[in-house]
Structures are given as structure tokens and as C-alpha cells.
Amino acid sequence: MNVPVWNPAVEFMEREALERLQFANLRNTVTWALKTPFYRRRLAEVGMTHPEDLTSLRDLRNLPYTTKDDLREAYPDGLLAVEPEQAVRLHTSSGTTGMPTVIYHTRRDIDHWTELVARCIVATGATARDVFQNMTNYGLFTGGLGLHYGAERVGMLVIPASSGNTGRQVQLMRNFQTTVVHATPSYLLHLHAALGDEGITREQLSLRKAFIGAEPHSEQTRRKIETLFGIQAYNSYGLSEMNGPGVAFECVYQTGLHLWEDAYILEIIDPRTLQPLPEGETGEIVMTTLQRQATPLLRYRTRDLSHLVGGNCPCGRGHRRLARIKGRSDDMLIVNGVNVFPSQIEDVLMKIPEVGTNYLIQLEKRGSLDRLVVKTEIYAKLFIGDPQTLDDLRERIGELLRSAILVKPAVDLHEPGSLPVSEGKAKRVLDLRPAF
Ligand code: ADP
Ligand code: ZN
């Protein structure tokens, strides 16, 4: 296969050269960080007052971690490292887990970010000839403008559709023969169901690729999207603290997400001991920005869980790969003492042929015990006929879940379209247990 590439000099850089570049950029980053009151204080605590105090890349280990709470405390401008007039844009996180955080960008920062997104897009085999419909929210959320700028740089025809309004999305896709879309995986599944309702088949669309991200999803969900639409779906990982999309992306080989190591230093740590973990072990992703001047971040604890994929990707890029994100460390549910990740439940559900495109995990309290209820949509035709079939299906789903998560949930079966759909990130867990 001819490997499509945007910036061969950087994407195929030898490890040694890449690390030299990282070190030079780390020193720049510390120089910028020292301009903020927040990092001046933090770095002084570890005896670092000058970028020359860093003598090698290994010294990164001596730098303090930065947490989401630190960002919230520094809100709104405690982490701004340039004069306010040099900043040209700000973005905030979606606030999935609390108060939002803010990240500022200079013109140069936006230019770097755009380059990273362009690399990601081209790595999937998309080209300037594609028509790109961006179905994520335009606004403070980074998925809209982030992908938009990158796609324009590649030269695609960009349709800034933003999120929601499924009828209009379909109309745009048909009128302009959209070939590539960007959306959350949950929204694409919803879109597919909506096409069915309107009697539109995939042959009437020109779609060939999707970029999916912004929320945890399983390999089974990706496969489902690929099969339903007859396309390739590429996992895209990013977070507003690290610009947004463009941090890590799958290439045509879909063997994990290449993380651009000229722009970020990646560490995987044990979230309890804060010690680095060896390749292959799952832990918290920690990242240091290397190119961002307006809001440099050192060893930012993302709370996202993943591991490094070993070996080399057939595409030849040396930038290491992250495995699919398992979820956030704070996503983990404790059900009667057993640890359960929502992604494990999704993995089981999406393998079951009768299961439709939407589900919800509900937690309740029954006396002193937790009760786990998995609500899932199934195909409409299953509701017609023998009720015993539904009982059997409920039992089968319950058993499959029990063998995966060690807890047997109650299973509720729902008609297609009856569970809530969100326009942005899907809300998969409803925890109704009282706090105390
Ligand atoms: P918030 O943290 O408020 O949701 P963001 O909009 O910055 O704000 O979202 C970034 C988060 O979304 C990541 O930290 C991660 O938890 C999740 N995320 C983004 N892309 C993916 C992906 N491809 N797979 C799983 N989770 C993802
Ligand atoms: Zn690759």
C-alpha cells in the first residue's frame, strides 16, 4: 500500500532525531511556562528556575504534574503565558466532569494545531478531493473548529454542519455527496437509524470514511459503524487541554492511535503511585505540550486510561501508538464492590446481533445493595411475536454481561429510538444512587 502522508520529514523522523527535537521543544516550553505565576511557583518548588536546569529528556520526571483541578484554580488566566494581545482564540473543555478549563492559543499555536489535524486526516487516506462534513459542535468545543481548520488546510471541501439536526445532515450529505464525516460514534449510530426511518439506503450516499472520537467507544462499536455504513471508521483522540482533535489518530492500518510526539511528550503512569508503567500496561495518559506558547502544560494528567501498543506500525511512522481509550479513571463504576467500566458493557452489547444502536447503564440502590440495570434498544421486529423470545434474549444478554463484568445486571429491552440521544458526547451512565 502507498502510505498517504502529510509531513514526511516529521512523521517518518528517526527516534533519535525525534527525541532531540522533543528536548529542544521541552526547554522552550519550560521557558514559556516560567512566564506564568502558576508554573513559576510550581517549578520553584522543585528547584527549577531556568530552562537550562533541564539537562536531558529524562529530567522531565522531575517536573511536577498538572491536574484538571490546577487548571480550574488557574481559571481564567493564571496559565496564560503570553501578553493577552498575542492570544487569538480560547477554547474550553466540554465540562463533562465539572467546571470547564480554558486554553488560549496564539496565531502560531493555531497554525501548529492545524498542521497536526492535517496530518491525521491525510494519514487515514482522505484527500483534497474529499467532501468533509463536520458533524460536531462548532463553538467552545474543540471538535468543530479543530477539525475544520485541518480539513481546509488539506484542501477538502468542508461543510461546517455542526452537530444535531439529523434531517439537515442527511440532506447535506446527499446534496453535496459527502465522502467523509466527523462525529461522535453514538451520533453516527443514531444517524444510521434515522436514515432507515426515512427509507434512505447507504447506496444513496457517497460516504467512504468517518472520523470518530470525543467519547469512549469499543472496537465492536467501530465495527458496527463500518458495517452499517459500509465505510472505514478511524478513531480520533484529543482533549481541549492538548488543543483538541489532532493529538492521536489512526492511520490507514487501524492498529492503534499514532500520537504526534514532536508536539507532545507522552507518559503512561500508574494513577495511584504516579510511577511510569512499562509498554503494554494500562494506566493514565500524561502529556506535556511541546509547541504551545499561550498555554504550555507540563505533565498534564488526562485521567484517560490506555496503554502503549508495542512494535512498529506497517505505515512506517515512528510516532508511538496508544490503544483505544478504555475510559476515564473517574468513569469506573463500583457495583457492590466490583469495578466495572462502561466500555466493558458496551463491548458485550455491540457484539449481540439483536442489539440496536443505543443503550443506557443505570445504577440504583435497593436497600444496602447496588442494582445495575442495562437498558438497551433492540430491533423493532423482535417485539412482534412470541414474548418468550424476549425473555430468552434478556437472559442471554444478562449472562453474557455477567461473564464479562462479574455482575449480573437486570436487562431492559427497548424499542429503537426510545432511549435518550445526546447531540454531543453520549451520556451512558445514570447513577441514581444517593451520595451517602
Ligand atoms: P471534557 O473533558 O469536558 O469532556 P473535552 O471536550 O476536551 O472535554 O473532551 C476530551 C475528553 O474526551 C478526553 O479526555 C477523553 O476522555 C474523551 N475522548 C476524546 N476522544 C476520545 C476517543 N477517541 N476515545 C475515547 N475517549 C475520547
Ligand atoms: Zn500507522
Q: Strand pairing partners for 308?
A: 322
- Round to the nearest angstrom and report the end-to-end CA distance of the chain: 57
> What spacing in Å lies between the alpha carbon of 303 and ligand 1's midpoint?
10
Amino acid 96: pLDDT: 66
Give the ligand whose atoms come closest to the C-alpha of residue 250.
2
Give SS3 for 426: coil
Q: Is the pLDDT of residue 219 over 90?
A: yes
Distance 258 CA to ligand 2 centre (A): 7
Instruction: Average the pLDDT over each of 141-155, 158-172, 210-224, 335-349 and give the range with the smallest value.
Output: 335-349
Any ligand 1 atom below 6 A from CB of 287: no
Ligand 2 center to residue 249 CA distance, Å? 9
Closest ligand 1 atom number to CA of residue 93 = 8
Question: What's the average model confidence in pLDDT over 398-421?
Answer: 93
Give 256 Cα–ligand 2 centroid separation in angstroms. Answer: 8
Tell me which residue has its CA closest to atom 18 in ligand 1: 214
Instruction: Report whether residue 325 contacts ligand 1, using a CB cutoff of 6 Å.
Output: yes
- Ligand 1 in contact with 150 (CB < 6 A)? no
Q: Is the minimum distance from the CB of 213 to ligand 1 under 6 angstroms?
A: yes
Q: Which pLDDT belongs to residue 385? A: 83
Task: Select from 117, 145, 212, 215 the residue to mutate for testing ligand 1; criterion: most ligand atoms less than 8 Å from CB.
Answer: 215
Residue whose Cα lies nearest atom 10 of ligand 1: it is 239
- Mean pLDDT, rounded, for 107-128: 98
Q: Does residue 246 line the site of ligand 1, with CB under 6 A? A: no
User: Cell match 462525529: residue?
Assistant: 183
Share of the chain above pLDDT 90, in %: 86
| 240 Cβ below 6 A of ligand 1 | yes
Choice among 51-65, 219-233, 342-356 with the minimum mean pLDDT: 342-356
Residue 156 is classified by DSSP as P
Q: Tell me if 360 CB under 6 Å of ligand 1.
A: no
Question: Which pLDDT score is estimated for 243?
Answer: 98
The answer, yes or no, to whether any atom of ligand 1 lies below 6 A from the CB of 305, is no
Nearest CA to 256 out of 209, 296, 315 is that of 315
Confidence of residue 138 (pLDDT cuts 50, 70, 90): very high
How far is ligand 1, taken at its centre, from the CA of residue 238, in Å?
Answer: 6
Which whole number is the average pLDDT over 15-26?
98
Rounded-to-integer distance, Cα 211 and Cα 260, Å: 17
Q: Ligand 1 pocket: which of 94, 99, 234, 239 to mutate (most atoms <8 Å of CB)?
A: 239
- Check: CB of residue 342 under 8 Å from CB of residue 361: yes
Among the listed ranges 81-85, 122-126, 256-260, 337-341, which one has the minimum average pLDDT value? Answer: 337-341
pLDDT > 90? residue 280: yes
Looking at residue 330, its pLDDT comes to 78
| Average pLDDT for 52-80 | 95
Phi, psi of 16 (to 5 degrees): -60, -45
Give the whole-angstrom CA distance, residue 419 versus residue 305: 27
214 lines ligand 1 (CB under 6 A): yes
How many whole angstroms from 5 Cα to the centroid of ligand 2? 10
Over residues 311-324, the mean pLDDT reads 97
Closest ligand 1 atom to the C-alpha of 68?
2
CA 251 to CA 1: how far, in whole Å?
12
Q: Give the residue from 258, 213, 254, 256 showing the smallest Cα distance to 232.
A: 254
Q: Which atom of ligand 1 is nearest to the CA of 328?
A: 16
Ion ligand 2 residues within 5 Å by Cβ = 251, 253, 313, 315, 317
Task: Kindly state the cell numbers that stand for 222.
Answer: 467501530
Q: Alpha-carbon distance 97 to 71, whole Å?
A: 13
User: Quick check: CB of 185 below 6 Å from ligand 1?
Assistant: no
Instruction: Say yes or no: CB of residue 146 within 6 Å of ligand 1.
Output: no
- Dist CA 254 CA 270 (whole Å): 26
Of 60, 6, 35, 1, nearest in space to 249 by CA:
6
Return all residues near 317 (Cβ < 8 A) that are at least 6 apart.
5, 11, 12, 123, 251, 258
**How many percent of the chain have pLDDT more than 70?**
98
